[in-house]
Amino acid sequence: MHLHGKSAAQYARQPMKDHWGAPDHDKEATVSGTDGDGGGGERMAGLTRRERLRAELERDAKAAARRITAAEGVEGLTVAAVARSVGVTSPALYRYFEGRNGLIRAVYDDVMAEFMQVVAAAVERQDPDDISARLHAATRAVFDWSVGNPAEFNLLMGAAYPMAAAASADDIPHAILRELGGMYGQLFTRLWRERQLAHPSDDEIDPVLARQLRTYREAMGIEVPIGVALLMITCWRQIYGMLCLAVYSHMSYALDDPVPLFEDMMDRLLGILGLTRSPRLVI
């Protein structure tokens, strides 16, 4: 599939970053060069041999967990499968991860970080004062990344999400709202403050929905009228439907290229917000 001159492969998952390992008082001599992970040798510099081996195993286990998730879905991600992939026993991995749930969380965190890095980079390529371009670029980046990474999309906000959420007793259920919703929330807040964004008044909103919108707004940590929060959800329900349609190839017999439909949606959503497509948009 080609996306306005870019192939979906360009948005495919990037090599995972490792954040494991910390030096202690017993340092090894630093080493130059890399160990095949694009700078990993430098990141390992100064660690003891035991620390380096631990960091390498954790990195390899996370990479294996992600490969298994991409190939088989989160259902196929088990401690035994990862252990076989990296050549250790299952009990050995329990010293690094809290079982299967720990592996799911590790994959989820890495995918979320990668996803948000891609979206944030798309936003930062736009003129800081061009809210239309920033909203459009962010949404296009979400779309392109999701189409290029269907297994990862499935984990973050698709059919595998309930299993990922169940694997974490803390904040996975709020991760997308906090990370992606928070970024959009900042843009909508600017739009409301700078352009007097038209929105429904509180008394125009069903009381039950109003209560839900207050919870939604508070979870994002933004201070806007609940009518603005309603506009955000109104946009997101269309965006999310478009993502599912494209990622899962719904109606592919007709929509062999979903980009034109996506761009039509964006023009309409921008119109709801009193905006038009920016001529300065950089995709």
Tens digits of residue pLDDT in 233-267: 999 999 999 999 999 999 999 999 999 999 999 99
Q: Is 46 left (phi over 0), alpha (psi -120 to 50) or beta?
A: left
Q: How many angstroms separate the CA atoms of 232 and 182, rounded? A: 11
Q: What is the pLDDT of residues 91-137, one digit of tens each?
A: 999 888 989 988 998 999 899 999 999 999 999 999 999 999 999 99
Single pTM value for the model: 0.79
Q: How many angstroms separate the CA atoms of 9 and 150, rounded? A: 11
